[in-house]
Amino acid sequence: MTQAVLIQNNVAAMNVDAYNRSALAGINLDNGNVFRLDVLNSSSGCEVWDVAPPTTSASTLDNLWMAYSPEVSLLSSGGKQYKGLSPDPQDFTNTGSLVFDAFKPQVGDIITLTADAFSNAISTNTYASSGSEGHTLFWNTSATTAAFACNLIDITYMSIGSGSALGQTQRITAYKLVVVNN
């Protein structure tokens, strides 16, 4: 199974430290997954926030954070962990129980996500929102009121190395979005 890939094309978090946090989840999260960071983890010993999923309650569908860590894949074998053995960012996920990076998308931020970041197919929809589908976004005909939402700018591609032969790439469909609400 491939994992979602995220590109931060132009986001405020690149220049504002307050929009960046370290997070901890009990499950694997792909880059581009959304969640709440309302509670500081009491057992980490440093500033790490506990991940909570958005729910159908209107009060928890906005002010969301998005997973975004460098795509260094992790392989466990024989009780040891090996990093960076796969050049394919689709092999990467933020492993549950390990601290990962998150940023808070701001209105006007531009991001690009692969289809694995969404819980449904795009069809004729032009908005992506948070909702009861868990940590993934879902395509909709309009921006969901009082929820994290993005508007589709362009359907584009990411060129991702296959790792099987030098110079070979795969063109993966991706969606360039602008954040319209959070």
Torsion from C-alpha of 116, 32, 143, 18, nearest 10 degrees: 180
Residue 49 lies in a domain: yes
User: Which mean pLDDT values do the consecutive 10-residue runs of the chain (182 residues) have?
Assistant: 84 95 90 90 82 74 86 63 60 73 96 92 92 82 88 91 61 93 93
Distances (CA, A) of 71 to 40, 108, 112, 154, 163: 25, 24, 15, 24, 14
Residue 48 lies in a domain: yes
Q: Which residues pair with 176 in a beta bridge?
A: 112, 154
The predicted structure's pLDDT at residue 135: 87
Within 10 angstroms of residue 51's Cβ, the number of other Cβ atoms is 25
Find the angle CA(68)-CA(171)-CA(84) to the nearest 5 degrees.
45
Q: Which residues contact 82 (CB under 8 A, 6 or more apart)?
A: 74, 75, 76
Residue 33 lies in a domain: yes
The predicted structure's pLDDT at residue 122: 93
The predicted structure's pLDDT at residue 77: 59
The predicted structure's pLDDT at residue 174: 94
Residue whose entry in the numeric block shows the structure tokens 């986001």: 11
Q: What is the pTM of this model?
A: 0.83
Residue 1 lies in a domain: no
Residue 107 lies in a domain: yes
User: Residue 22 is part of which domain span?
Assistant: 6-181
CA-nearest of 142, 22, 163 to 84 is 163
Residue 165 lies in a domain: yes
Q: How many structural domains is the chain composed of?
A: 1
Residue 84 lies in a domain: yes
